[in-house]
Each structure stands twice: as structure tokens, then as C-alpha cells.
């Protein structure tokens, strides 16, 4: 997986969260390792996941959104569950949401 460019298989992986971009269904593209500026952590408790995702509000990466207080940006999430044999396009995808930071 590492030789194929799968960032999740990299020994230098710093976070289980992957920074990627999409404009809609079928357009998912992982950002290169040098542009992975998102962190996060998940905790499984009482049958549910709680996930925290972190990133600086402003990014130098042209593919990243710069967050501005009061301005809405579209956001969606994709989750692969290895126990369910999810891979490639087989995953759970959220609806698009409007994220507005105070």
C-alpha cells in the first residue's frame, strides 16, 4: 500500500485524518504528503465514534479553504471501515454541510 502511494500506510503517518479535496461525487483526490496539514483523533466509546479534526484557519496550500469567521464553506466527510472491507469508492460519505465558524 505504501508503494502505491497510500498515505495511510506510510510509516511517517502523523494522523489518521487524511487531507483531501472533492467537488462532488467521484472527484475525491488525496492531497500530496507535503500538503497534509490536517490532524485529528478518534475515540470509540459506548458504540460510537467521536472524532476531532484540527487545522489552522488559514493555509498556504492553494487547494485548501481559508476559514473566515462568519463565512460559510461547504464540507463533507468520507469514512472507510476496514472491518466492512471498505476500499476505494466503497465508503460512507456524508451529505454536504455548511460550516460557519463564529
Band the pLDDT of 52: cuts 50, 70, 90.
Answer: very high
Least confident of 41-45, 91-95, 98-102: 91-95
pLDDT at residue 68 greater than cutoff 90 = yes
Give the integer Cα–Cα distance in Å for 16 and 19: 10
Strand, coil or helix: 82: helix
- Percent of the chain surpassing pLDDT 70: 92
Band the pLDDT of 9: cuts 50, 70, 90.
Answer: low
Give pTM, 2 decimals.
0.69
Query: CB count, 10 Å around CB of 6?
Result: 12
Cross-strand partners of 49: 44
- Percent of the chain surpassing pLDDT 90: 28
Amino acid at each position: 500500500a505504501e508503494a502505491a502511494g497510500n498515505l495511510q500506510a506510510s510509516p511517517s503517518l502523523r494522523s489518521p485524518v487524511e487531507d483531501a479535496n472533492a467537488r462532488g461525487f467521484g472527484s475525491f483526490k488525496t492531497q500530496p504528503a507535503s500538503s497534509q496539514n490536517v490532524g485529528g483523533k478518534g475515540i470509540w466509546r459506548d458504540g460510537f465514534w467521536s472524532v476531532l479534526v484540527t487545522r489552522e484557519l488559514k493555509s498556504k496550500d492553494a487547494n485548501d479553504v481559508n476559514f473566515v469567521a462568519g463565512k460559510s464553506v461547504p464540507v463533507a466527510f468520507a469514512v472507510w471501515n476496514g472491518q466492512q472491507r471498505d476500499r476505494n469508492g466503497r465508503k460512507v460519505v456524508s451529505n454536504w454541510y455548511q460550516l460557519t465558524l463564529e
